[in-house]
Chains A and B, each alone.
Chain A
Amino acid sequence: MIHYIWFFMIVSGVVAAIIQGDVELVTKAVLNGAKDAVAVCIGLISVLVFWLGIMRIAQDAGLLKKLAHLLGPFARFLFPSVPADHPAMGYLLSNMSANLFGLGNAATPLGLKAMEELQKLNPDPKTATPAMCTLLAINTSGLTLIPTTIIAIRMKHGSINPTDVIGPTLLATICATSFAIIVDRYFRNRETKKRQRR
């Protein structure tokens, strides 16, 4: 699916530029996009290095296992295919906690570490596992208690009540995340049935 989305975006962009008679737009967009992407990756180095270091201490001290035990039933419901005492469980749960408390730059390193641990349980390293898809479903739907970035932007534009939007945002994100988990479950079951038939 990603191939089609990628191809569609590029081709329709090029066609749009040609119709407008300004093909230069494409060249400019390519350079800007590539530059932004590298800038994002370079920016990630610092947070990745720092948080992976801190989290290794937590792992070596057995804190991640504790967290996994504490939230065990919840985690087993979300990720039934991951063994309860596997290190992946601790990272999965710390990624979700970091998202919840709005620690965006800590959440990504934890999520990537969780992916790495899930990859160790993966029989086919090129294909995603259902547990990975669930992790992605939770992360893409953006469950957070306080939308800090948008509040800062509202302040910047001189809002009288920048925190007004916390209520509807929280409600919307809870509903969207629940919806994501349900849809993910549906696709997971369909995938399992497909595999059994083979």
Chain B
Amino acid sequence: MSASAKSSPPPLLAEDAILLEPILHTGPKFYVTAAALLSIIALGVYAYSVQYRDGLGVTGLGRPVYWGFYITNFVFFIGISHAGTLISAILRILGAEWRRTITRSAEVITVMVILFGVGSILMDLGRPDRMLNVIKHGRLQSPLLWDVCSITIYLTMSTTYLYLPLIPDIAILRDHTNKRRWFYRALALGWTGTPRQHRVLEILISVMAIIVIPVAISVHTVVSFVFAMTIQPMWHSAIFGPYFVVGAIFSGIAALICAMALLRWVYGLGEYLKKVHFNNLGLLLLVMCFAWFYFTASEFLTTFYGSEPTHMAIFWMKFTGPYAPHFWTMVVTCFVIPVTILCNKRTRTVLGTVIASVSVNIGMYLERFIIVVPSLSQPRLPHSEDVVYSPTWVEWSLLAACFAAFILMYMIFTKLFPIVSIWEVQEGREKSIAEVTERVKSYLPEPQTPVARPKIVETTP
């Protein structure tokens, strides 16, 4: 406590001092967790070095299942990355006041997870040393180039979108702490909090919030186009674009709920990440759950009703064949479990939404897997050998390492910057309550009798 007394927050921050705690103090638990995560990452690095030396033969892939875990990871991580920017942008534009404490933790997920999406593609390359050929000899006719373009734009924009609302908080850190002052001074860009600076920042944030939505949607649409543009059975489907976007938002919200629950538990942020946030996000998750089910049902019913033999071969692989365990687990974890929990107000608690979210994330990983693998394992022409794909230790290690690296980077972020936006919370206290009262008033009919008017003004607080 003596250390905190030295860098005691000024009266302005007294209420929100707990938000600076993770930055000012780092306990042994942090280092233990970081060491555990680093050892998983080290295993992943070793696994990749083996793959780099010996080739992709160390994976479980073969002809015709040319794509497996790495491409599944790619789709899954890019999907998770929709948590942040898209949800935060929508909540900002709608002026949802409950967003204030959760937007930052969401935006960080986007920026960090997208790196692992890109990383998964690089892990999948047979010749990663030649990856710059994509720029040197790039063909814009290839859906993979569309991915390269839109993911690059998305990463740039979501980083900017994370950074802009961080500036006033970085200035707080610069002014009120003794740690890493040069670092915060450089990043604060001379922020002093003048009204003009606030106005410029607000304009920039709202412009970014609007632009980032179509970019985010385009990203997951072109991810789906990688599959949908080929003529392979059960890939060549126009529904894939919106289906992937819905799945991405679905898994993104689930990831956000998990991250928020961890933050709340580890840093004691129960006052900021309240039950109401979990309740509201839980409702959003429920809506996306139905949207996901609608798309899934449409996709499978269309295939089944048309019953083209090549498509049905894949269909039955998923329903009753070798991928039936994956498929039915997906149905249970993506639909049955979350709907059961989230439909009931009594179970839509913090714990309830977290259980639903973990279940959704498992289900969505399986969903990506059974999109990628079964379509490849039954090619149109008969095959002399039946190849069953099962991932090896290399693929499992790299998946674990991606998760570990993501968690570690997220942890480090919380040690450098406040994970709950301090200035936005303060702004909420100081300005929004009055604004919201005004806004609600503006929805209601103007008082009709001029005589009664002054009375109403008097009675409002």
Real binding pair: no
